[in-house]
Chain A
Amino acid sequence: AQKITQTQPGMFVQEKEAVTLDCTYDTSDQSYGLFWYKQPSSGEMIFLIYQGSYDEQNATEGRYSLNFQKARKSANLVISASQLGDSAMYFCAMRVLSGNEKLTFGTGTRLTIIP
Chain B
Amino acid sequence: RKEVEQDPGPFNVPEGATVAFNCTYSNSASQSFFWYRQDCRKEPKLLMSVYSSGNEDGRFTAQLNRASQYISLLIRDSKLSDSATYLCVVTPTSGTYKYIFGTGTRLKVLA
Question: A and B from one assembly?
Answer: no
- Interfacial residues, chain B to chain A (CB-CB below 8 A): none
